[in-house]
Structure 1
Amino acid sequence: MSDWGPVVIAVVLFVLLSPGLLVQLPGRHHFVEFGNLHTSAVAILVHAIIFFALITIFVIVIGVHITTDS
């Protein structure tokens, strides 16, 4: 059996937390900007910290598991 939970959670969070795709914290002109497709080093750092915190919560603390029979 394969555990696909961490892989699915990581891919979804990576897409949702890509800076500038849906939301950017901090933005270039405002604190929060939506869908501007621009980024900065600070925004990359903030999104990486949020990604690490959420992946830790979902995979380690909650323990999301999606198993498949091979």
Structure 2
Amino acid sequence: MADWGPVLVATVLFVLLTPGLLLQIPGKNKVVEFGNMQTSGASIFVHSVIYLGLITIFCIAIGVHVHVSE
């Protein structure tokens, strides 16, 4: 049996935290911009830090596990 929890959590967070897809922190004109489909170096850094924090919480602190049997 394989543990697919970390894979699923990482994939979902990566898609949701892509800068510019849902939101961009910091935005080009405002602090938070929603759905502008643009990015910058600062927003990539902020979204990476948020991603690291959430992946650590979900995979290490909470311990999300999804077991798939054949």
TM-score range, shorter chain: over 0.9
Letter in 2 for 1:68: V
CA RMSD of aligned residues (A): 0.5
Partner-residue secondary structure (3-state), 1:51:
helix
Partner-residue secondary structure (3-state), 1:50:
helix
What is the TM-score normalised by the length of structure 1?
Answer: 0.98
Per-residue CA deviation, residues 26-54 of structure 1 (Å, 9 max, x unaligned), is 00000000000010000000000000000
Structure 2 residue runs of 5 or longer lacking an equivalent are none
Structure 1 residue runs of 5 or longer lacking an equivalent are none
What is the TM-score normalised by the length of structure 2?
Answer: 0.98
Among all aligned residue pairs of Structure 1 and Structure 2, give the percentage whose two residues are the same amino acid: 59
How far is 1:69 from its partner?
Answer: 1.2
Instruction: Say whether residues 1:39 and 2:13 are aligned partners.
Output: no
What is the CA–CA distance in structure 2 between the aligned matches of 1:14 and 1:42, rounded to whole Å? 17
Q: How does 1:1-70 map to 2 (within 5 A)?
A: 1-70=1-70
What is the CA–CA distance in structure 1 between the aligned matches of 2:18 and 2:69, rounded to whole Å? 32
What is the CA–CA distance in structure 2 between the aligned matches of 1:19 and 1:49, rounded to whole Å? 12
Question: Would you say how many aligned residue pairs link Structure 1 and Structure 2?
Answer: 70
